[in-house]
Structure 1
Amino acid sequence: MVIAIGFEGSANKLGIGIIRDDDILSNIRHTYITPPGKGFLPRETACHHRQHILTTLRDVLQEAGLTLSDVDVICYTKGPGMGAPLTSVVLVARCISQLYNKPMVAVNHCIGHIEMGRLITRAKDPTVLYVSGGNTQVIAYSRKRYRIFGETIDIAVGNCLDRFARLLKLSNNPSPGYNIEQLAKEGKKFAPLPYTVKGMDVSFSGILSHIEERIPKWLKSEEYTSADLCFSLQETLFSMLIEITERAMAHTGSQEVLIVGGVGCNVRLQEMTKQMCLDRKATLYATDERFCIDNGVMIAVTGLLQFNKSGHTPWGETTCVQRYRTDDVHVAWRD
């Protein structure tokens, strides 16, 4: 049995998790929450991570009933993500590695989401819809790589939702996307919005600009309520994502869809994707906020897969990279 600890801090979630082979022993997350109408900046986010990482580490070890001496391998997020938060976390991981003489494994954040989803749902070879605050991709595995079939050409879907929430001054607690999802349930009138699918790729910045220009007039005239706009935005964005996911399924012949990433715990997105899967006689796999949202266990899971197959990451390569493509990684652990 091998015990792995995973450190995640690529954005505003600081997560640390521990696994023993496939058993999750502990998974604790601390989120940096900003005031309504404001996003999170790299420097302040890194400060949050530095303030909370040692207490989070202590709590994770207590919950798992372990000490750092019991851990066999230290896994951390190499990228993609925000530079300052990534660096603040890897410094702690590197210190622990030296203090306790433990090997390190550098993990791609995006693949961490995929392998976490595969472990929890037991999906075999799914088409992956990866939707988060920093990434939007449709992915399928082929010949030792996770191949990107389609993606956003500008901002990620989660970023679009976050920025829209700021326009409405919605709370960032627990997350802007969650509060949009709840408000959308009250929406009754659909506001036509740009639908921008370009081949296998999607674009969200134009939709956001369209709303930003019109939102003062819409709300002042009461043509649409805030709930109507939340409802309309979700339906439009999610329809675009499902279109390119279905197209990728048709190309690969896949009969499984796995939704991962922070936006993946949106129940409406899961409902819409499930309907598409039913039409194709396919199966939808999804998880809840414990595993969709950035967390340390997903890094531990993927790091352990890498470690068991390829060994540790050389010390000189235990760095961070803000732009680290999903298809850059050699997936040695899959057949």
Structure 2
Amino acid sequence: MLILGIEGSANKLAAAVLQDENILSNERNTFITPPGQGFLPKETAEHHRKYVLDIINDALNIANVTMKDIDLIAFTKGPGMGGPLLSCAFVARMLSQMWQKPLIGVNHCIAHIEMGRLATGFADPAVLYVSGGNTQVVSFSRGRYQVFGETIDIAVGNLLDRFARLVNIPNDPSPGYNIEQLALKGRKYIPLPYSVKGMDVSFSGILNTVQEIVSGVQRPGRPDDSWTVEDLCYSVQETAFSMLVEVTERAMAHCHQNSVLVVGGVGCNVRLQEMLGRMAAERGGSLGAMDQRYCIDNGAMIGYLGKVMAEAGIRHTLDDTTVTQRFRTDSVDAVWREG
């Protein structure tokens, strides 16, 4: 089976061609804004509309196939930003009708998980899913990927993005990567709010405190010491990642699992992988992790989930291929995992 996967839920526009489980191409084009600015739905959608056909052509050419050869088109149904999702869904629907190819809309979050299972060979791990729009601790139970813990305000990737804007860290290649490199030069830990509520986390306190520090706001009990951007990067990472490791371990204990898979764009952070790996090893388990090729939003993960859904007998009509901005991980019956 040859599958074309199309992803465009946020600022990453991507397309890939797979032959069953073999990834023949995996192309990506990122919408990057100037330092201090985020990406808005309208401009991101315009970027996707401008480049989506080019990225699809690149994926087909690198795989040495044509649309005539494709057996299935898979695209991101949600969750994500409305405009970018619609831009890619429109093209996927157009190609499906022009070439008479079956079309499947997939859940972006579950695509990350299934790609992680494929790449690492982990059959049934606990999953920490960390990205710009989502932060969840997930485990498969009763036919679905159940969410045992999540952020109750902003995602950890969103925390990093907004922190980067506060201190004018560049968005190229990504704010999270630049924070990770600067954190290696940090020499002083600055105390920040550590908010864990059961298996849930809250990151807005970290962001608010950093904003006060950068703005020079003084509060009782806060040392009036100098700080560097590198120190803040180190402190933000250590605090946020410690929270994530804590709730992940709590969920693993609850689900009787020793191994963990980390997926999503923030999942390729080496420091986070080190912390999770140490925790898993202390439980007698191991960590499954990937690099930026498959952690960051990509077309291969969309195509692969489309494949396993099709093989499980799932079929979508054209009316089913709308987009859903709030498409929960735990709302999908994962019938391909039965048995």
- Per the normalisation by structure 2, the TM-score is 0.97
Paired with 2:285 and 2:252, the residues of 1 have a C-alpha distance of 10
**Residue of structure 1 equivalent to 2:251:** 248
Residue 263 of structure 1, aligned match among 261, 266, 273:
266
Equivalent positions of 1:278-297 (< 5 A) are: 278-297=281-300
**Residue of structure 2 equivalent to 1:275:** 278
- One-letter amino acid of the counterpart of residue 134, structure 1: G
Cα displacement (A) at 1:217:
2.5
Paired with 1:38 and 1:29, the residues of 2 have a C-alpha distance of 21
- One-letter amino acid of the counterpart of residue 259, structure 1: V
Q: Aligned pair 1:324/2:327, yes or no?
A: yes
Cα displacement (A) at 1:310:
2.1
Q: Aligned pair 1:315/2:318, yes or no?
A: yes
**Residue of structure 1 equivalent to 2:173:** 174
- One-letter amino acid of the counterpart of residue 92, structure 2: A
How many matched pairs? 333
Equivalent positions of 1:181-260 (< 5 A) are: 181-217=180-216, 223-260=226-263
- One-letter amino acid of the counterpart of residue 14, structure 1: L
Q: Deviations over 1:21-63 (max 9, x none)?
A: 1100110000000000000000000000011111111111010
Paired with 1:231 and 1:201, the residues of 2 have a C-alpha distance of 22
**Residue of structure 2 equivalent to 1:69:** 68
Equivalent positions of 1:15-30 (< 5 A) are: 15-30=14-29
Cα displacement (A) at 1:309:
0.6
Paired with 2:17 and 2:119, the residues of 1 have a C-alpha distance of 15
Equivalent positions of 1:26-65 (< 5 A) are: 26-65=25-64
Paired with 2:214 and 2:256, the residues of 1 have a C-alpha distance of 42
Paired with 1:71 and 1:315, the residues of 2 have a C-alpha distance of 18
Paired with 1:171 and 1:194, the residues of 2 have a C-alpha distance of 25
- Root-mean-square deviation (CA, aligned residues, Å) is 1.1
Paired with 1:217 and 1:185, the residues of 2 have a C-alpha distance of 24
- One-letter amino acid of the counterpart of residue 113, structure 1: H
Paired with 1:11 and 1:122, the residues of 2 have a C-alpha distance of 27
**Residue of structure 1 equivalent to 2:99:** 100
- One-letter amino acid of the counterpart of residue 195, structure 2: T
Where does structure 1 differ by over 3 angstroms across 4 or more consecutive aligned residues?
none
Cα displacement (A) at 1:223:
1.4
Cα displacement (A) at 1:311:
3.1
Cα displacement (A) at 1:180:
0.3
Structure 1: gaps spanning 5 or more residues: none
Paired with 2:71 and 2:276, the residues of 1 have a C-alpha distance of 39
Paired with 1:224 and 1:310, the residues of 2 have a C-alpha distance of 57
What is the SS of the residue equivalent to 2:216? helix
Cα displacement (A) at 1:255:
1.9
Cα displacement (A) at 1:178:
0.3
Paired with 1:154 and 1:216, the residues of 2 have a C-alpha distance of 22
Paired with 2:63 and 2:202, the residues of 1 have a C-alpha distance of 42
Q: Deviations over 1:99-145 (max 9, x none)?
A: 00001111000000000000000001000000000000000001210
Paired with 2:242 and 2:150, the residues of 1 have a C-alpha distance of 14
Paired with 1:272 and 1:245, the residues of 2 have a C-alpha distance of 11
Q: Deviations over 1:255-279 (max 9, x none)?
A: 2100000000000000011111111
- One-letter amino acid of the counterpart of residue 68, structure 1: M
- One-letter amino acid of the counterpart of residue 104, structure 1: L
Paired with 2:183 and 2:290, the residues of 1 have a C-alpha distance of 21
- Per the normalisation by structure 1, the TM-score is 0.98
Paired with 1:96 and 1:302, the residues of 2 have a C-alpha distance of 19
Cα displacement (A) at 1:222:
6.1
**Residue of structure 2 equivalent to 1:121:** 120
Cα displacement (A) at 1:216:
3.0
What is the SS of the residue equivalent to 1:94? helix
What is the SS of the residue equivalent to 2:336? coil
- One-letter amino acid of the counterpart of residue 78, structure 1: K
